[in-house]
Amino acid sequence: MSSAATSFHCFSSVEKLPPSSCSDQQMSLLSTKPKSILQKNPLYQPTHKNISLQFKEKILCLEIMGVDSGLHQKDFARIFGMCPTILTSDIKSQLSPVFNFLSNDLRVPEHNFRRVINKCPRFLVCSVKDQLKPALFYLQRLGFTDLHHLAYQDPILLVSSVENTLIPKLHYLISLGFSRTEAVQMTLRCPGLFTFSIDNNFKPKFDYFSQEMQGELDELKEFPQYFAFSLEKRIKPRHIELVQSGISIPLPLMLKTTDEEFKELIRQETG
């Protein structure tokens, strides 16, 4: 059993026992927990002088979960603020499986638990059986084989619903005219496509691309990152400036360059 799992086993047993049944070491840790940690929790109210042992236990358990580095005290306000239900989660049945998933399925070493959880606190409120594992399986079938990248760069994909989020986004890309293989390759090149809203992102940006820019699907197939740029702040103004200047440049060059680089490109082309 890993040290993280051992920690969870220890504290999950404490949860079901009255304070008098806890070991002296456990009670010492719980009773001496600095108040500043609790006070950073957005659910904590100063008038609640006797915060429950269960809440103290959760905070302590989460803090030591990284074993070597742990979850730092300064992390709690953000984590609890984004996912307050963590405070009422059952350690054994809800939290422990998440860290086992990180360790066994994503191969995240214990000293990096904090890094992953801080990147995506929603891990702590997701069902491993119903959400995390199905998402991982689906993504791996698509070709997302880099576990390191999934854990540290795109963990939000793992807390996304396969049926309600991942599949609909892929189907929408196919509806634009891409083959399934092309759509999958686009998501592999730009995983953020799975996080964009169909109505608020894909549709208005594709409409502008096809109608105003007269773009071709091949351009988006090669540069799916187009959908990651702001329509109003980057795509429209730069396209309008190019039209007014009477020049045409590749889509990546149009959007990826800094403002200074973009102006210099126009000067060179119109020079």
Residue-wise pLDDT for 18-59, tens only, equals 333 334 444 344 344 444 444 444 444 443 444 455 555 655
Residue-wise pLDDT for 192-230, tens only, equals 999 999 999 999 999 999 999 999 999 999 999 999 999
CA distance 106 to 220: 31
* Cα 8 → chain centroid: 24
CA distance 31 to 24: 10
**Residue whose C-alpha is closest to residue 109's, from 67, 166, 52:** 67
Contact criterion met (CB below 8 Å) for 183 and 174: yes
Amino acid (1-letter code) at residue 48: H
**Residue whose C-alpha is closest to residue 138's, from 164, 116, 113:** 164
pTM for the model: 0.70
Question: Which residue spans within 1-146 are E strands per DSSP?
Answer: none
Residue owning tokens 């953020």: 192
